[in-house]
Structure formats: C-alpha cells, structure tokens
Structure 1
Amino acid sequence: MVDFTVAICTYNGAQRLPDVLDKLKACLESGRRSHPTLTWEIRIINNNSSDETQQVIEQYQTQWSSDVPIYSHFEPQQGLAFARQCAVEQAQGEWIGFLDDDNLPSENWIVSAHEFGREHPQAGAFGGLVKAAFEGTPPPGIERIQSFLAIVERGNMAFQYQLKTGLLPPGAGLVVRKDAWLSSVPKQLFLKGRIGQVKLASEDLEAVSFIQQKGWEIWHNPQMQIFHKIPESRLQLDYLVTLVRGTGLARHHIRMTRLTPWQRPLAFLIYFCNDLRCLLLFWLKHSSQIHQDLVTTCQWEWLRSSLVSPFYLWRQGAIYGESLKK
C-alpha cells in the first residue's frame, strides 16, 4: 500500500500525456522537499488507444524515478467509466487522484490532496480548482458554459457539498477514497462516457453521487489546482453543442440517482414542469440569439436536452431503475 495513487485515464493521448507527466515530475520534486515520507504511484489506464500512447508510457517508465513507479494498464472497454473503474481496482493508494490526459496539476496538487484527506476522515471524495488553459481565443461569454468543459472555480474557501443542492465536483482532478469507491460505486455505471454514437456524459457525477448517497462527505478543496487544456477545436459550435447535449440528456438519470424509488415519480413531474418553464422563459428572452450566438445556442441546447432527457433515456431502453439495483 502507498499513500496516494495518481490515475491518468487516456485515449489516444500520445501527444498530451508528456505534458501531464512532466507536471507530475514537478510534483515529485516538490513533494520530496516538503513531504519526504509521502509515498505515491502513477497508474496510467490506456483506454483502447490506437495511436502511440503505449510507446509514450513505456518511454517514461524507463526514465522515471523508481521511488514513484509508473504502472500501465490496458482497458479494452471503451469509455471513461470503464477506465476509472480499472484504475480503482488496480490502485494501491488509500487515495486516488484522477487526471485526464489534458489536466495539468500544480506542483503541490498531490501534497495538498493527501493533507486534505488526512484532515477530513469522513470525506469520500473531493475536488479542487479547475482553471482553463485555452489554446485558442475563447468566444465571448464562455464563462456561462465553462462548467461543461470541466472548468470549475468555486472559491478559495473549503466547503462540503450538500446533497440537497445537487452540486458536485467534476471528474477532472477528482480525488476519491478507494474504500469509499469500492463500497459505494457499482462496478458498471449506467453512464459509460462519450463513446461512439452515444454521447451521454456525467459518468463522474454518477460515481460521486453514489459515494455521497452512502453517507460519505464530498468536499471542495481550493488548495488543489489543475489547468485543463482546451484546444481550439473544442471551442467550435459543433463540439460544444454535442458536449452540452450529452450532459443534458444524462441529467434525468443523475437526478434520479440521488432519490429513493418512492420519491422519483413526483420528482420527475416537478423537474419536468420546472425544465419546461425554464425553456420557455429562455426562449422568450433570447430567441433572436439562438443559432446566432454560440454560447446562447449552447444554453438553449442544455435546457432543451434536459427537458427531453427522461424520454430519450426511456426510448433507448435505458431504464435508470434497473441500473440502480445492480
């Protein structure tokens, strides 16, 4: 056993992985100075990549410090949910910090995460600050939809996420207690990630919801900070609309995950009426900008896809109740 596992889930990340690993090298040097007894490891989950990802991993393994080993695991089932489950099962750390292959941690990210975990023995998971590293010029008003790009800055004070608010930290930079995940999260989540023609998102929120439902605390730790690299291709209308739509279509399932079976029928009616109200009010106020302004179009798609989410899931045969029983 080690204190901390860094889990990097990657798909065709040969061009992106080196930046992440170089940042982790800075974490290693910083940790040696401030916390020389802290033990940690790196687990890279190659999620069925078809590029030179594996060669990049092997190259770094040969030149990496032996006291913080890099392990490589191949996960053939496509989807971030499968990759994260593989990481949890393979990790030796008490805590697991998830990084995507475009997440660049600050040099104190691991130390801050480990200290926060020790100070909060009831915490099952916590997230930090996720700042944008745009590689192009973002469109005006991007801050209104930046949460869909996992850009989350929720202040410089630590706080506990409350179940009634429905707010949770994103998967980028998420740190989980291994025991909390294994005892709370089903091995196969209902949401698998954006794969193939299925673009449903929010598999990270589903996992954290299960942990919170089991009574574990979920926290915001502002001492942890990562930068999320956003290439210019992810600032285009087609990509953003697809991203927002996938999150909206999954919204009904995330909502129902937080409720008991007897609460769901009434909650469905309340949510549907409120979503319809929000959609109509938005249209009355912004109809002239829909399909003209990128950010407004994305906001419209979020409201529209949220409204149709339960019907879309039912039509696809994705009955949330059955998945929650597993």
Structure 2
Amino acid sequence: MLDFTVAIPTYNGAERLPQVLEKVRSQIQTESLKWEVIVIDNNSSDNTEEVVKNYQETWPRSIPLKYILESEQGAAFARLRAVKEAKGEYIAFLDDDNWPEPNWLISAYSFCKEHPQAGAIGGQIHANYEIPPPENFKPIEPFLAIREHGSQPFRFDAANLRLPPAASLIVRKQAWQESVPPRPSLTGKLPGLLIQGDDYEPLLYLHKHGWEIWYNPEMHTYHQIPKWRLEKDYLLKLAQGCGLATCKLLMINAKPWQKPWIILRTIVGNGKRLVLHFLKYKGKLKNNLTATFQINFYLQCSLSPIELLRKR
C-alpha cells in the first residue's frame, strides 16, 4: 500500500486541471512518501482526458498519474470511485479549482500520523476571488468552501453539522471503507437537482462509527472563485440546496426516538431565525445579497423535513 493518494474529481475541468496538477507536482518534502495522483473524470464532455494524458507524458515516474472515468454523474460518485481505486493509506481529495500550498501534502501526512483516530482531516481554505465579493460577504463564505478557523487544531463538532468541506479533505481509506455506505443518498449538484450535502454525508458516517474529524491549520489551499459564483441566482440556488439537505443530514446519526424532536427543532429553530432575520433587514433586502442568502437558507432549512418525508 502507498502512503497517499491525491484524488482530483473533475467535471469539464480541462481548463482548470493544468493549474492544480502543477500545484500537486510541486509538492515539497515528499521524497520519503510513496504516493500517487488519480484524476476522476465525472463524465466530462470536454477534453479532460486529453489534458491528463498530455501530463502523463512528462509526469515524474516515481509518482503515478492515473486517469479514471466515472460515468455516474455526481461528485459523491466520483469520490466513491476514488476510494475504490486509491492505493494509498490516506486519500487527499482536491477539487480541480482548489490550489494547495507546496507543503500541503506533507503537512497532511504528518498530522495523520499524529492522530491515528482521525478518519478525516480538513484544513484552511482561502479565497481567490476573480472580482471583489459583495459587501459583508464574510458570513456566507463557508458556503463557498472557504474555511479559516485559526492557528490551533481542534476536533469538528459533527453532531451539529460543523464539518469541513470535501474541497481539500483528507480521509483514511480504512475508515471510509468501514463506515460509508456503497451508495450515497446525497449526490451533489446535478442538472435539475438542488439538494446538496454530499460533502457532509460520508463524514457523518465516519463520526457515527467512532472516527474523529479534525482541523489541521497547517494545511492551506486556495479556492478559485469565478465571478459567476457571486451572482445572485447562483447564490440563492446554493442556499436552497444546502438548506434542503439539513434535516436529512441530521437524521444520519439520530436515534429513532430523537427523530421527531429533530424535525420539530429544525422547523421551529430555523423558522425563528427566518423571522428575526427578515425583521432585522426588512426594507434592505434588495441591496443586501448576504441577508437575502441567509433568509433563503433558513427558509429551506425549515422546509427540509418536508423534503425528507417527500423523498421517503
């Protein structure tokens, strides 16, 4: 078994892959590691395969670079395929628009060895915005997988859905195989499908099986945020997708007697936040994208039990 597999799920990523592959190839202090890189093409319609094959011609022979096609659409299926194909003890997921610092991999490996009960590890994800974000955008940055939790490591509070995104997540292959079901119930963004939560679902199963989920402040990546991700239509769809997944995620680790209370708490708690937020920003929503996003998110959270029952 290898020490690490760097897995890069991608969909129509031909333009983005060269930058992230260069960042991966430039990792430092990895001479003592045995590792590989796999690109999981999630049914792209562009020349993603050609880009990877061109890189294979000049890629270091000591670090295998593999191309794998996963035709079942959805980021969750791409990650499942990555776990199946990975030969590493640890799997470092890296989105094709998330650029790692040169010491990202060795920092991840050192932390994994220091925390043998860690089933997953997230780090700091900083934003590289193509254009400046709207005013007061900070409260909703986490929805774009931006996470800056400071300089001290800590365990994530999985029970309250405080978890790292999959954009630059490290997982222990053994933990995933022991804990995560072979088919996800949340697939990620698909045409006509808004519900998200695919980042969190496997982490909640890891937590359910007793694995710890940690924050490593020494792991730094930079998420490339194009201007279209700051447009109102995209952000409101994002709020809707994240909100509708809330109740389903909370149910993963719930005991049967807890489920009615979770439904009630989700409806009442988010309904209260919705009303208070609306009253606070009443008359100002037209020019306040952050407040509009939050109100829509709370609304969809309060509706998520209905969505859960409808799916069942």
TM-score between both structures, scaled by the size of structure 1: 0.94
Amino-acid identity (%)? 43
Q: 2:182 aligns with which of 184, 187, 204?
A: 187
Alignment partner of 1:80 is 2:113: no
Q: CA deviation at 1:202?
A: 1.5
For 1:61 and 1:208, how far apart are their aligned partners in 2?
Answer: 32
Q: C-alpha separation between the residues in 1 aligned to 2:31 and 2:24?
A: 15
**Residues 1:306 and 2:301 are matched in the alignment:** yes
Instruction: Give the Å deviation of 1:41.
Output: 0.4
Deviations 1:103-161 (A, max 9, x none): 10000010000110011111100100000011112111111100110001111100112
2:230 is matched with 235
Once residues 140 and 226 of structure 1 are traced to their aligned partners in structure 2, the CA distance between those partners, rounded to angstroms, is 24
Equivalents in 2 of 1:291, 1:278: separation in Å?
Answer: 19
1:21 aligns with 2:21: yes
Matched, 1:53 2:48: yes
1:41 maps to what in 2?
36
Q: What does the per-residue CA deviation read over 1:61-111, in whole Å, with 9 as the maximum and x for residues that have no partner? A: 111000011011100000000000000000000000101110100000100
Name the SS for the 1:138 alignment partner. Answer: coil
Q: What is the aligned counterpart of 2:98 among 103, 110, 122?
A: 103
Give the superposition deviation at 1:295.
1.2
Letter of the 2:204 partner, please give it.
Answer: S
Match of 1:323 in 2: none
Partners of 1:8 and 1:44 within 8 A in 2 = yes
> 1:210 & 1:19 partners in 2: Cα distance?
32
Map of 1:278 onto structure 2: 273
Give CA deviations for 1:271-319 in whole Å, capped at 9, x if unaligned.
211111111111111121224321111111111111111112323xx23
The AA in structure 2 aligned to 1:18 is P
* Aligned counterpart for 1:63 among listed residues 52, 58, 67: 58
What is the identity, as a one-letter code, of the residue corresponding to 2:19? D
Given that 2:247 and 2:262 are in contact with CA atoms closer than 8 Å, whether structure 1 keeps it comes out as: no
1:288 maps to: 283
Aligned to 2:209: 214
User: What is the aligned partner in structure 1 of residue 242 from structure 2?
Assistant: 247
Distance 1:282 1:218 in 2: 31
Whether the aligned pair in 2 keeps the contact of 1:160 and 1:217 (CA below 8 Å) is yes
SS at match of 2:122: strand
Note the alpha carbon deviations across 1:39-73, whole angstroms, 9 max, x for none: 11001100000001111010111110000110111
Larger displacement relative to structure 2 (93-102 or 303-312): 303-312
| Structure 1: gaps of 5 or more residues | 320-326
Contact 1:289 1:297 in 2 (8 A): no
Whether the 8 Å CA contact 1:23–1:107 is kept in 2: the answer is: yes
Structure 1 runs (4+) greater than 6 angstroms displaced: none
**C-alpha distance in 2 between matches for 1:236 and 1:222:** 30
Q: Paired residue for 2:163, among 164, 168, 185? A: 168
Letter in structure 2 aligned against 1:264? K
What secondary structure, in the 3-state scheme, does the structure 2 residue paired with 1:37 have?
A: coil
Shift of residue 258, structure 1, vs aligned partner = 2.5
Q: For 2:88 and 2:174, how far apart are their aligned partners in 1?
A: 10
* 1:37 Cα deviation after fit: 1.5
After TM superposition, the structure 1 stretch with the greater mean CA deviation from structure 2, 188-197 or 253-262, is 253-262
Aligned AA for 1:21?
L
Mapped to 1, the partners of 2:180 and 2:289 lie a distance apart of: 36
CA–CA distance in structure 2, aligned partners of residues 18 and 54 of structure 1: 12
CA RMSD, Structure 1 to Structure 2 (Å): 1.1
Q: Which moved more, 1:84-93 or 1:254-263?
A: 254-263
Deviations 1:187-216 (A, max 9, x none): 111100000100211201111010011000
Normalising to structure 2: TM-score of the pair? 0.98
Counterpart CA distance in 2 for 1:112 and 1:204 is 22
Whether contact under 8 Å (1:201, 1:247) holds in the other structure is yes
Q: Which runs of 5+ in 2 are unaligned?
A: none
Which letter maps to 2:16? Answer: R
| 1:156 maps to 2:151 | yes
CA distance 1:86–1:164, shift in 2 (3 Å): closer
